[in-house]
Structure 1
Amino acid sequence: MFNYQFNQFAGVHLNINTEFYSSDFTSHLKTLLAEFGAANKKVVWLTLAAEQADFVPDCIKLGFEYHNCLPDQITLIYRLQADAYAPFSPTHTVGAGAVVINDKNQILMVRDNFGQYRGFKLPGGHVELGEDIHIAAEREVFEETGIKAEFNRVLGFIHKHPYRYGKSNLYFVCQLEAKTQNTQIQDPNEIAEVRWLDIDEFIQDSEQSEFVRDLVKTIKNNLAHNPGLKLTASVPSQEQGVQRRDLFIIAD
């Protein structure tokens, strides 16, 4: 049989709690869709575990559409009303880059072992699922450079689109304070080189990416009077029975 839960937007969240034969699955699902339609519901979200993927073709035949997926599940949607609004699957990936400057006017930079660009860039990478932005910045700095650094503030962000897999990307540029100074490559397969570079010399180095040089120049020129966004609280909350954590980052 199915488990289902209504939400405040006239939607239904649906999943399977027992095994079905394909014919039973289709007939039960048709019955439920009729009941939800009669109850004036608008959209059904059906989540199937990886081992239930055989039911996907049956769902498509009934009019379901792909919505989003995770490594162990896929979610499809069915519009009970033709004009029903269903928020699109996640439109953005999120990254965090780190600005770490020492008292010698040097900025911490890395060179990757992959991709077309072989110059220096800020250490950073993707924010993992369920990971706070400031934690991601600290983690990426250590994983790529061996430097232990502490989050201070968000200086700004970069919005890129189109990006990978047809999504857009939000890249948060964070300022961190180094707690150690000696660099050590943690993963030589990913990182080719780590260096503390003089900021002014890097900005003038035409062999480096113009975009990265402009970014570093903008950071340098605005660092003193940019209050940035500070982490003020990380508050547990609950939505649809699921524990959630809300991260507040506001102007200092």
Structure 2
Amino acid sequence: MICLTTSVGTRHVGSRMKCLTAAWTKKNQPLLCRSTSSTNHCNLKHSERLCHISLIGELRNCLCPPNNNNSTTFIRSYSTSTQQPTYSSKCLLGERDRFNAVMVDLTHEGNQQFIADNGYFGNILADSTSKWQKDGTIAIWIRVPIAHSRLIPVAASHGFSLHHTEGNHIYLSRWLLDCPSRLPAYANHQIGVSGFVLNEEKEEVLMIQDKHRIVRWKFPGGLSNFGEDIPDTVVREVWEETGIKTDFQSVLCFRQQHNMPWAFGISDIYVVCRLRPLNFDLNICKDELVDAKWTKVNELLKDPNHTHLTVRVARLIQHGLKYGFDSVDISMEELPSVYKNTTYKLFHKPLPPSL
């Protein structure tokens, strides 16, 4: 094997051509191509990144033209980027993550040539797995579009297992190390919310009677949509079910319950929020509710048909009405994340003004 070392940047055209010449004269030998730029690849100028990508592409084309049947030639690009493409003339195209696992997306145009025939895909998958395993890759993920679900049994025969589905795609995984798998399980909780819509002047709360659970009155609410913040979910659900517009005030409490019925055995986190009503005339969704009404908070403590959760939240509200809601509220603040250009919501008890 020969190792060609390239410098990234538009200033190194000469060394670039020297690398290409050496690659061409030695093309029957396996080649390792490295970038030795001391600059983080993520911080390179756009033109420099394009130069680097172009160089790797030209090396690949010189050594591995489309009609070349030499299956021993294998090219990989190395850089300091946390996500880098993996190239080979006879290898699936994948993207390496920061954990040293490879994600193969079968919808990628570079992988289309491998998926038309089940047998050919199986051979390419076996070769790719063997090469990545020798490179020290810890795991392989495959994203399979539902239109090509026929490839799932092929992958399963090569040691892959189902991990999860997302829309019209199925994700498969295979752990490559000789130890128990450390791949994370798919999400095992769902998030539900409800709103304690409080009319402080009358000390009344909005209660609903669910069409599918008529025996009890409860707080309006429902499940969070994908990527939806808890405050947005609870405001939306209350509006859809009762026609009451609200302002989010705080989180009062949350419940965790495992083996949730009718939720495919996953666990459930149920968040109860305090809301301030902006209108009071009810307009219920008849597809979901039988009835809705404003109820005195203290009546929730007297009715034995209410759940323990309903009674406990009513007691929290009574305490807040008497001593101030700072004593019971869990506040929310949006803070910048360690991940670039993203934020997150942090929930905690309010800090004293001095802090």
Give the TM-score normalised by structure 1. Answer: 0.89
1:55 equivalent in alignment to 2:148:
no
Which residue, 282, 304, 310 being the options, matches 1:183? 282
Partners of 2:334 and 2:343 within 8 A in 1: no
Higher CA-based Rg: 2
Moved more, 207-216 or 34-43: 207-216
How many pairs are equivalent? 247
Q: 1:118-162 CA deviation, whole Å, 9 max, x = no partner?
A: 211111110110111110010011011110001111112111112
1:110 equivalent in alignment to 2:110:
no
Which residue, 228, 232, 238 being the options, matches 2:333? 232
**What's the % identity of the aligned pairs?**
23
In the TM superposition, residue 199 of structure 1 has moved relative to its aligned partner by: 1.0
Q: 1:195-235 CA deviation, whole Å, 9 max, x = no partner?
A: 11111112201233344333433443356343533232265
Which residue, 236, 241, 251 being the options, matches 1:139? 236
Q: CA separation in 1, counterparts of 2:222 and 2:158?
A: 40
Q: CA separation in 2, counterparts of 1:196 and 1:39?
A: 65
Q: Which amino acid aligns with 1:44?
A: I
Q: CA separation in 1, counterparts of 2:165 and 2:207?
A: 35
Q: 1:71-121 CA deviation, whole Å, 9 max, x = no partner?
A: 311111101114230011101001111111102011111110014x52111
RMSD over equivalenced CA pairs, Å: 2.1
Q: What secondary structure is seen at the aligned counterpart in 1 of 2:344?
A: strand
Q: CA separation in 2, counterparts of 1:211 and 1:238?
A: 36
In the TM superposition, residue 22 of structure 1 has moved relative to its aligned partner by: 0.6
Q: CA separation in 2, counterparts of 1:24 and 1:204?
A: 70
Q: Decide whether aligned partners of structure 1 residues 177 and 217 sit closer, same or farther in structure 2, where only a CA change above 3 A counts.
A: same
Which residue, 85, 94, 100 being the options, matches 1:10? 100
1:249 equivalent in alignment to 2:347:
yes
Q: 1:30-72 CA deviation, whole Å, 9 max, x = no partner?
A: 1111111111111111111121211111111111111111231
1:95 equivalent in alignment to 2:199:
no
Partners of 2:298 and 2:314 within 8 A in 1: no
Which structure has greater strand proportion? 1
Name the counterpart of 1:37: 133
In the TM superposition, residue 28 of structure 1 has moved relative to its aligned partner by: 1.1
In the TM superposition, residue 250 of structure 1 has moved relative to its aligned partner by: 3.6
Q: CA separation in 2, counterparts of 1:226 and 1:29?
A: 59
Q: Which amino acid aligns with 1:64?
A: F
Give the TM-score normalised by structure 2. Answer: 0.65
Partners of 2:300 and 2:310 within 8 A in 1: no
Partners of 1:42 and 1:84 within 8 A in 2: no
Could you tell me which runs of 5 or more consecutive residues in structure 1 were left unpaired when the two chains were aligned: none
Name the counterpart of 1:173: 272
Q: Decide whether aligned partners of structure 1 residues 175 and 67 sit closer, same or farther in structure 2, where only a CA change above 3 A counts.
A: same
In the TM superposition, residue 236 of structure 1 has moved relative to its aligned partner by: 7.4
